[in-house]
């Protein structure tokens, strides 16, 4: 097909054809799309809703990918990017600064808790995590502890797709195609309280971090990376004093505590940062997504004064960076996004509405297939089971039939964007834009309830 033909014929069929022929979608079985199976093409968004190429409306129950926090279609945010592009479309943060990156760094540092005062910008979450892991290793090396290289993460947790993140997370399906990885990944149990033996406390689970450090050797462990609420596996909140104990352990063993807030920052849990919700002080926060409400790609690593100290003077530098880190257009968009957060009291809206969201999700517990309902703020999940009494889960083949064979497609067909996932046990996750309220929660329920009920029947779930 020639370029001219493409320009003239931009019909929907052509977009489908072009997508099938040329676009490589991420984490996608490309073989699943043929003439009979349309690629979903989303063409515009407005508030909590998006519209496909046929004009059909969907409630975006996942903020696209946990990131369009203030909702779609904001002309003011777009304008901020356009104005900046006119003034200075791009300049780099490699040895240079520009006003928007400086202003945003200061603003983010002002919002971050404690002495998290230094901001290193990236283009997204994986780059932020990679930056934090490399910084952790170099920090120890600069202080005469070059052996401290290992990274502790929690089972099933996802921290991005870089080889460094895959080393940390050790998820077989994600790492095996790309091995060998760099050495140094160690995993500890996550906080899935639905499947943790009764009586286990947050402190017990945190102590598995100390056990791992002892087992691996304290002189070999650089950092612990954890999300405030773990996404993969389905929104695991931290029980009791979990994070307070992890903090103590990190101090005791000279291990850096990284709070990976690529999802949990920027209002998702009703605070600017997830660690503020749970009252712990990390050494590093990694973030991205909601920083710009995804109107432009951007990530950030927020670093404590203590960790920056070896770089403060002399010739030492962090030999690491990305061309687009701190991009002025993204920084301007982030500033406008944070203005909207302040002017429209977005955090208050989450706090005011999270109980209604939780109540709607909890109301699904009467369905035979719903084993557990959990989460915090605007970040919630239901876990699907074969038998509620025994908590028996679905095997791989059943999970495939349930999620990819039915739920994902059916929920979308009925107008709800959400996530059906089985990186752990099968779950449905919802993380709507932070502007949602009771009307959208009722709409979610009106789709979830009949679809989950039908799923239970199809899978012969025991009531
Ligand atoms: C906790 C966490 N860390 C890192 C990442 C990677 O971010 P990105 O996809 O922007 O590279 C994600 C992405 O969802 C995430 O949820």
- The predicted-structure confidence for 118-148, as pLDDT tens digits, reads as follows 999 999 999 999 999 999 999 999 999 999 9
In a mutational test of the pocket of ligand 1, which residue from 123, 159, 273 has the highest number of ligand atoms less than 8 Å from its CB? 159
**Residues contacting 33, CB < 8 A, separation 6+:** 19, 20, 39
Q: How far is the CA of 261 from the centre of ligand 1 (A)?
A: 9
Average pLDDT rounded to a whole number, residues 360-373: 98
In a mutational test of the pocket of ligand 1, which residue from 133, 167, 263 has the highest number of ligand atoms less than 8 Å from its CB? 263
36 pLDDT tier (thresholds 50, 70, 90):
confident
Assess whether the C-beta atom of 379 lies below 6 angstroms from ligand 1.
no
Domains of the chain: 40-70+346-458 (3.90.1150.10), 76-343 (3.40.640.10)
462: pLDDT strictly greater than 90: no
**Nearest CA, atom 3, ligand 1:** 159
Q: What pLDDT shows up at residue 2? A: 35
Neighbours of 383 (CB within 10 A): 23
In the block, which residue shows the tokens 């790492």? 175
65 CA: nearest ligand 1 atom: 14
Q: What pLDDT shows up at residue 4? A: 34
Average pLDDT rounded to a whole number, residues 342-353: 98
Q: Do the beta carbons of residue 268 and residue 379 sit within 8 Å?
A: yes
157 CA: nearest ligand 1 atom: 1
In a mutational test of the pocket of ligand 1, which residue from 25, 26, 66, 125 has the highest number of ligand atoms less than 8 Å from its CB? 125
127 CA: nearest ligand 1 atom: 11
Q: What pLDDT shows up at residue 3? A: 34
In the block, which residue shows the tokens 């403060």? 312
Assess whether the C-beta atom of 232 lies below 6 angstroms from ligand 1.
no
Report the percent of the chain where pLDDT is more than 70. Answer: 97
405: pLDDT strictly greater than 50: yes
In a mutational test of the pocket of ligand 1, which residue from 64, 129, 162, 273 has the highest number of ligand atoms less than 8 Å from its CB? 129
Q: Do the beta carbons of residue 235 and residue 378 sit within 8 Å?
A: no
5: pLDDT strictly greater than 80: no
This prediction has a pTM of 0.96
**Residues contacting 20, CB < 8 A, separation 6+:** 33, 34, 39
Q: How far is the CA of 262 from the centre of ligand 1 (A)?
A: 6
Assess whether the C-beta atom of 126 lies below 6 angstroms from ligand 1.
yes
Q: What pLDDT shows up at residue 415? A: 98
What is the Cα–Cα distance from 338 to 237, expressed in whole angstroms? 26
35 pLDDT tier (thresholds 50, 70, 90):
confident
Q: Which of 163, 72, 93 is nearest to 126 (CA)?
A: 163
pLDDT tens per residue across span 140-153: 999 999 999 999 99
């Amino acid at each position: 097909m020639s370029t001219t033909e493409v320009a003239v014929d931009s019909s929907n069929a052509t977009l489908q054809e072009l997508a099938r022929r040329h676009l490589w979608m991420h984490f996608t079985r490309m073989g699943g799309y043929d003439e009979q199976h349309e690629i979903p093409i989303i063409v515009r968004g407005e508030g909590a809703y998006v519209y496909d190429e046929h004009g059909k409306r969907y409630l975006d129950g996942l903020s696209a990918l946990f990131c369009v926090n203030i909702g779609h279609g904001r002309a003011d945010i777009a304008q901020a990017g356009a104005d900046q592009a006119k003034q200075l479309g791009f300049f780099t943060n490699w040895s240079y600064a520009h006003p928007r990156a400086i202003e945003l760094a200061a603003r983010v540092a002002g919002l971050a808790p404690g002495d998290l005062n230094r901001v290193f910008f990236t283009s997204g979450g994986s780059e932020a995590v990679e930056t934090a892991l490399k910084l952790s290793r170099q920090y120890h090396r600069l202080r005469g502890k070059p052996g401290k290289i290992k990274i502790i993460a929690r089972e099933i947790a996802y921290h991005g797709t870089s080889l460094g993140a895959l080393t940390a997370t050790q998820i077989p399906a994600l790492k095996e195609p790309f091995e060998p990885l760099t050495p140094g990944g160690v995993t500890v149990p996550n906080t899935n309280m639905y499947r943790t033996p009764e009586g286990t406390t947050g402190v017990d689970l945190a102590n598995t971090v100390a056990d791992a450090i002892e087992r691996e050797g304290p002189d070999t462990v650089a950092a612990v990376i954890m999300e405030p609420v773990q996404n993969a596996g389905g929104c695991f909140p931290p029980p009791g004093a979990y994070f307070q104990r992890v903090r103590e352990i990190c101090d005791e063993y000279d291990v850096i505590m990284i709070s990976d807030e690529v999802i949990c920052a920027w209002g998702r849990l009703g605070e600017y940062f997830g660690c503020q919700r749970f009252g712990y002080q990390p050494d590093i926060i990694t973030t991205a997504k909601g920083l710009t409400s995804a109107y432009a790609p951007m990530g950030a690593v927020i670093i404590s004064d203590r960790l920056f100290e070896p770089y403060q003077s002399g010739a030492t530098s962090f030999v690491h960076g990305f061309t687009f880190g701190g991009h002025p257009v993204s920084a301007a968009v982030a500033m406008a996004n944070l203005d909207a957060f302040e002017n429209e009291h977005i955090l208050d809206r989450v706090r005011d509405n999270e109980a209604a969201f939780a109540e709607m999700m909890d109301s699904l517990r009467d369905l035979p297939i719903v084993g557990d309902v959990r989460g915090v703020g605007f970040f919630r999940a239901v876990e699907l089971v074969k038998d509620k009494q025994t908590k028996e889960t679905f095997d791989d083949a059943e999970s495939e039939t349930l999620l990819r064979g039915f739920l994902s497609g059916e929920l979308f067909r009925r107008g709800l964007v959400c996530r059906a996932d089985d990186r752990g046990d099968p779950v449905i996750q919802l993380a709507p834009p932070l502007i949602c309220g009771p009307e959208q929660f009722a709409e979610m329920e009106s789709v979830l309830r009949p679809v989950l009920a039908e799923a239970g029947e199809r899978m012969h779930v025991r009531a």
